[in-house]
Every structure is written in C-alpha cells, then in structure tokens.
Amino acid sequence: MELDFGPDVRDFRDEVRDWLADHLVGEFAEHRGVGGPTDGAAWEVRLAWDRELSAGGWLGVGWPREYGGRGLGLLEEIVFEYEYARVNAPYRATVNALDLLGPMLLRMGSEAQKKRFLPPILAVEELWGQGFSEPGAGSDLASVRTRAELDDGGTSRSSGAESGGEWVVNGQKVWTSFGVHADWLYVLTRTDPRSARHKGLSLLLVPTDQPGVEIRPIRNLAGQDEFAEVFLSDARTGADMVVGEVGQGWRTAMATLGIERGTTLLPQQLTFEREAEALIDLARERGALDDPMLRRRIVDAWISVRIMRTTNLRTIAELTAGRTPGAQATTAKLYASTRHQQLGRLATELAGPAGQIVGEGYALDRRQRSFLLSLAETIYGGSSEIQRNIIGEQVLGLPKEPRP
C-alpha cells in the first residue's frame, strides 16, 4: 500500500525523494537502517549524515523560518519522515535535540531561548542529552532529587535573570541517551527543596563543558556506549535557562515525553515492516513455513506490523484533519513495543544456532542488534506499566492508584 498524501504535497514528496536518492549514497548508503532511539552504532557516520541533511535544509521541516526551519506544515513533516523511513536512511544522531528539545522549546521556550538554541540544533553544531531519569527516579520522575538553587550573587532576591544570577545544580542523572556526545543537557531539577512529588520541579538547560558536569558512558546490554550517567556537582547555568516557568517542570517534562511517544513510532513502524519481511524470507530459507506453529507466529508478526501501520495512519489522518487523535494514539506505543519484541524473539529463534554467534568484540548483526535493543522499547519514553496506567487513568478514567 503506497501512501498518497494528496496533490498538495506531491511536489514536496518528489523533492524529498529526489534529494534522498542523490544524497543517500556512498558511506551513508552503507549505513542504511543503522540506529534507533537507543542505538549509538556508527555514530560518526550518522553525525555526518545529519550534517548532510542540514545542508540540504531537511532538518526542522516544520519549524519556523526565523529559527532556521523550513516553515512548512505538519503534513510535510510527516511526508518527510515517511519518505525518510521508506529509504531506510540512518536514524538521526541528533534525535534528542531535533525531536524532543526542539519541539518543547518551540512550545514552551522563551523567545531568547528559541533564538539561542534552535538554529545550532538545525546546523548540527550543538548536541543535546536528556536529563530526566535518575538512579532513584526512572518511571517515577516525580521523585526527582537533583536540586537546583538560584545563586543571585547577593544582589537581588527577585529575579536571577535580570541580576545575572545562576542556577547551581547538584545531583545525578542516568540513562542519558547519547549523553557522552552532549554539549548541553535539558535537566529536570527540584528547585523548591521543600516541595513534594511533581510540584516544585523546573526544567533547566545546562552546558556540559564545565567542571561541575561529569559524564561517564554506561554500556547497554548490546555492548554499546549509547547512554551515560551524568554527575552534577555545583554545575552552573544561567538564571534564564529555565524552560517554562520555575516550578512547572513537571508539565514541561510530560509534554516532552508525549512528543517522544509520538515521534518515534512512524519511522519505527517502517523498520518493523522491513524486519517482518526479512523474517518471512528467513523462514522460507529455513523451511519453517510448513511448521504450523511457526507459520501461525509468522503470520501474526505480519499482522502486527500491518496493524501498527494502519494505527499510525489513523492518527496522522486525524492530526492533518485538525481532529484530536483518538485513543489509538495512546495505545500505539504499548502495542508496537510489545509486538516488536515478539517479532525479534521469533526471528532469533528462526535464525537457529548460527544466529547465536556474534562477531569479534561483541559485534552484532542487524537482527541481533534490533532484537536486543527492542528490550528498551517497553522501558523508554514511559515503561509499558506506566503506559497502562496512563491508558487506564487518562483514557478510561479509572481511579488513580493511592500514592503514599
């Protein structure tokens, strides 16, 4: 099923197609399909590819022109993402800034923040890491303990920004994707020390190039250094580096997570479709199609990816028609993440003993990498358990769990 987004965007689609055909060549083409939200493989090539995209004007298609974007609509953004995923281009190394921080700043940032940070994001000059999770606060972000205090230099007690004061940040963050490469972090902090839970949190933008920030890589279970732990010891950032209002960081963080759950699905879905096709080819090679049990699971894997596609199309159609997306937009992540894991398990099983052998230095092939990394999909962006709470409480209106 070829997607037709209508005559209005056909020229734009052709432009995207032509550009991708001309530029996704050489080393970039060799790294087709590399990466994912948690995959730090082939980092340098991917970064170079992001710069190529930037030079072509393809980063920030929907962002306003004044910040370096193309100023086009949601439909064009979707068409670009779709065409991008269709040719299996490398997953963008700048995902944290492009897909999460950028949209958040556009929605909630100050004018000065937008002017200062958005153009360098689109120029791939500054890389960003997300500082939400903590060792004691993974799914429970409301229990964030990293503290930030305003040091106004003793000149004023009212406004740090005007007095040129600074935030002093202390705490520890973890699971920061691509953290070792980050020039800046957007960090959820507790700015009111007497506050409890989600009150009194603020979102701060913190530069990493300072003595108070130490970033140590952590290896994930696939053997990659894609994420990091971050130690903040009297790290400093300007008083004007709060996104949204002081004390409103919870709302800002939740909005970001909402964006995260939405944006990763469309490109992922096409990757999953490719994996399902590869699974069928593998089953055919291995003569597994005659086994009724395997056959059933193979057909189910195909059904799953087709359902993911239709679900996404429903959401896209609603968004572009100016309607509020239905409940499927909320259940899509839970469905996609669990079904993708099933697909990976089946593929690994079909690959047999040979699929259990890895390359030197724990080098994984595409199937192995995707299978192992899929285990993160039910954790990041809100775990499946958190998703079920959100669906239960916010969509179905069930009573909240009593919280101590």
Task: Write out the catalytic residue numbers.
Answer: 260
Nearest alpha-carbon partner for 198 in 154, 285, 137, 125 = 137
| 366 contacts another protein (rule: CB under 8 A) | no
| Distance (Å, whole) CA 354 – CA 369 | 15
Q: How near is the Cβ of 334 to another protein at its closest, in Å?
A: 5
| Distance (Å, whole) CA 90 – CA 93 | 8
Site for another protein in 223-282 (CB under 8 A): 280
- Which contacts of 273-281 are long-range, i.e. CB under 8 A and separated by 24 or more positions? 273/305, 273/309, 274/33, 274/88, 275/305, 275/340, 275/343, 275/344, 275/347, 275/367, 275/370, 276/301, 276/302, 276/304, 276/305, 276/343, 278/347, 278/367, 279/343, 279/346, 279/347, 279/350
- DSSP conformation class of 225: -
Q: How near is the Cβ of 402 to another protein at its closest, in Å?
A: 7
| 48 contacts another protein (rule: CB under 8 A) | no
- DSSP conformation class of 181: G
What pairs with residue 243 in β-bridges? 203
| 393 contacts another protein (rule: CB under 8 A) | yes
Cα of first residue to Cα of last residue in the chain, in angstroms, is: 50
- DSSP conformation class of 197: T
Q: Which stretch binds another protein (CB under 8 A): 100-108, 169-177, 223-231, 289-297?
A: 289-297
| 6 contacts another protein (rule: CB under 8 A) | yes
| 110 contacts another protein (rule: CB under 8 A) | no
* Contact pick of 4, 11, 22, 111 for another protein (by CB under 8 A): 4
Site for another protein in 300-359 (CB under 8 A): 300, 302-303, 306-307, 310-311, 313-314, 316-318, 320-321, 323, 326-328, 331-332, 334-335
List the x/- string, 75-104, binding to another protein by CB under 8 A. Answer: ------------------------------
Q: How near is the Cβ of 338 to another protein at its closest, in Å?
A: 9
| 7 contacts another protein (rule: CB under 8 A) | no
Query: Which amino acid is located at 243 in the chain?
Result: V
Q: Of the two residues 3 and 112, which places its CB atom closer to another protein in the complex?
A: 3
Site for another protein in 370-389 (CB under 8 A): 385, 387-389
Q: How near is the Cβ of 303 to another protein at its closest, in Å?
A: 6
Helix (H, G, I), strand (E, B) or coil at 143: helix
| 396 contacts another protein (rule: CB under 8 A) | yes
Q: What are phi and psi of 170, to 5 degrees?
A: -135, 130
Other CB atoms within a 10 A radius of the CB of residue 284 amount to: 11
Nearest alpha-carbon partner for 99 in 401, 347, 300, 380 = 380
Q: How near is the Cβ of 346 to another protein at its closest, in Å?
A: 13
- Residues that bind another protein in the complex, under the rule CB under 8 A: 1, 3-6, 280, 283, 289, 295-296, 298-300, 302-303, 306-307, 310-311, 313-314, 316-318, 320-321, 323, 326-328, 331-332, 334-335, 385, 387-389, 391-393, 395-402
